[in-house]
Each structure stands twice: as C-alpha cells, then as structure tokens.
Amino acid sequence: MKGAQAEDRAAAFLSGLGREVLARNYRIPGGEIDVISREPGGTLVFTEVRQRRSARFGSAAESVTPRKLALMHRAALTYLTRELGRDDLPCRLEVLTIDGSAGEGTLSLHAVE
C-alpha cells in the first residue's frame, strides 16, 4: 500500500495526542477516511493523511482538493450513520500532512473548515 508508512506514523502521532484510533482506511464507494480516532473528551476525528516527498508539485496540504474534502465528509457521515447509528455526535475533519519522507518529514495538523 502506497501510503501505509505515512498512515502508520500518523496513527502513532494521533495516539500520542491521547486519541484512541478506532479505524483505519474506512472505505465506502467513492471515498475513504485514512484514520478515525476519538479524543479523550469523546469527539470523533476523521483524518486524511497526505505525504509528499518533495515540494516539486506543491506541498502535502496543497494536494487536498475541495472534491477530496467533499468525499471525506460523505465518508465520515456514512461512518457515523452506518457504524454508530446516528449522525449527531460531536466530530470534525482534519488533514495530517507530512512534507518529506514518511518516516522523517515534517508533520502538521490542519483543521478543515
């Protein structure tokens, strides 16, 4: 799997923030959530992981398109309704980027508005 090392690092980072990782690579037709976690206060967080070895074609954050965010939103809503039976739970979307190698690159969290 292409992004497995970046996703492994992301999941470890999120766990280090005190989050419980609930699922990885949650897929629905046309969409995927890389990591689903729960914060200590109970908020669910749906995380897209993006990694770029070089900035030749833009940064990892710049690679997240509005279409990708819409698909991510749809996958998150599906997870809430299909897996948890409701869509009114506290949750948010975020993007975790790694600029550089998956193991050593600069890691950043970005809120999705």
Residue with more model confidence, 76 or 62: 76
Q: What is the pLDDT of residue 34?
A: 95
Residue with more model confidence, 53 or 39: 39
Q: DSSP 3-state assignment of 12?
A: helix
If you average pLDDT over residues 43-72, what whole number do you get? 85
- pLDDT for 1 beyond 50: no
DSSP label at 112? Answer: -
> pLDDT tens, 70-89?
999 999 999 999 999 999 99
How does the average pLDDT of the chain come out, rounded?
Answer: 90
- pLDDT for 109 beyond 50: yes
What b/e string do you get for 62-75 counting C-beta neighbours within 10 Å, with b at 16 or more?
eebeeeeeebbeeb
Residue with more model confidence, 60 or 26: 26
For the chain, what is the domain count? Answer: 1
Q: What's the order of all strands across the beta sheet hosting 31-38?
A: 20-28, 31-38, 44-52, 91-99, 106-111
Q: What are the CA-CA distances from residue 48 to residues 12, 31, 60, 85, 98 (Å)?
A: 14, 11, 11, 22, 11
CATH number reported for the structural domain that contains residue 26 in this entry = 3.40.1350.10
Q: Global pTM?
A: 0.91
pLDDT band at residue 2 using 50, 70 and 90 as cut-offs: low
- The range of the structural domain enclosing residue 16 comes to 4-44+53-111
- pLDDT for 43 beyond 60: yes
